[in-house]
Amino acid sequence: MSKLPKINELLSPDKIEEDFFLFPSWDLGFRALYGGQVMAQALSAAQQTVEAPFVVHSLHCYFLLPGDAKLPVFCQVERVRDGRSFATRRVKAIQKGNIIFDCMCSFQLPENGFNHQTPKMPKVPGPESLNNDIEKYESPSMQVSEKLKTAIPFHKPIEIRSVKSDEDSAQQFVWMRLREHSEVEDKLPFHQRALCYASDYYFLMSAVRKHGLSPSDSNLRLATIDHAIWFHRGFDFNDWVLYVSESPTSASGRAYVRGQLFSSNGDLIASTTQEGLLRLKQETKK
């Protein structure tokens, strides 16, 4: 692939008719369609039905069926509520006639209000001192499958640099940003859906690493069950964002993770939570 795929094209739908939208898919080499893609596309579909200056402040999502990365994603938006200060949209993502994903998006008219922040951005090595995660898979010494070689370009639009931490730690630190500066008319809404796309990267890994496992383990079964994200402040995803995530607990074949995203100047711009399936193959139930 000669040119870098553009995330704005992935998250820009074709309008089929009123409140019905169609999106392309990227195959990242995973077992199923990447969850961050579906979340971001659902948000993009919802944004098409809300007038500016309303901006999204939260999404609450459920993953119902594995998606197929070889097929486009059809999104249907339901206009649940249009109020003076808030608007609510429900979005269903559909493939092969089945609902694979369902979410609620809440939008708010920007307003002045109380402002405080108690979490402080952790002191970790800056992104300038770290290597780009995807580059190791392009090294001649790295043996990767043909499927992954084909998928590598689709990982590049979001630049990710991980901070090394203890192998059995339930906490991880990842720097991320848009690889190419994107100038679009709806700058903040676009950066919100791009951050939503990136928020699913590595998120369950803090739980996986706690148990001494690797995502490349063929016996490991991972799948996102639900995911929520809250946007607290405006931000520019052309600049570096630090994603701090941890897994407080896992039980009953499920792992719970939570995250905080900080701008480079230390502002808490978003918070996330997720619960996912965490099983070994021999424990998998039919």
Six-digit token string for 157: 């639009």
Residue 144 has pLDDT above 80, yes or no: no
Residues ≥6 apart with Cβ < 8 Å to 101: 38, 39, 42, 61, 62, 63, 64, 65, 67, 92, 93
What pTM, to 2 d.p., does this model score? 0.94
Give the pLDDT band (50/70/90) at residue 148: confident
Tally of structural domains, the chain: 1
Q: Evaluate whether residue 125 is within a structural domain.
A: no
Pairing verdict, β 241-251 and 220-231: unpaired
Average pLDDT over residues 206-233: 87
Q: Evaluate whether residue 153 is within a structural domain.
A: yes
Q: Evaluate whether residue 117 is within a structural domain.
A: no
Tens digits of per-residue pLDDT, 58-113?
999 999 999 999 999 999 999 999 999 999 999 999 999 999 999 999 999 999 99
Mean pLDDT of the chain: 92
Give the pLDDT band (50/70/90) at residue 170: confident
- Cβ atoms of 10 and 37 within 8 Å: the answer is yes
Active site residues: 200, 224, 274
Predicted pLDDT at 160: 96
Q: Evaluate whether residue 132 is within a structural domain.
A: no
Q: Can you tell me which residue has the tokens 């995660």?
A: 133
- Cβ atoms of 256 and 226 within 8 Å: the answer is no
Give the domain CATH number at 206. 2.40.160.210
3-state secondary structure of 197: helix
In 72-153, DSSP assigns E strands to 73-82, 86-95, 98-108
Q: Evaluate whether residue 210 is within a structural domain.
A: yes
Q: Which domain holds residue 13?
A: 7-111+140-283
Q: Evaluate whether residue 213 is within a structural domain.
A: yes
Q: Evaluate whether residue 123 is within a structural domain.
A: no
Q: Evaluate whether residue 205 is within a structural domain.
A: yes
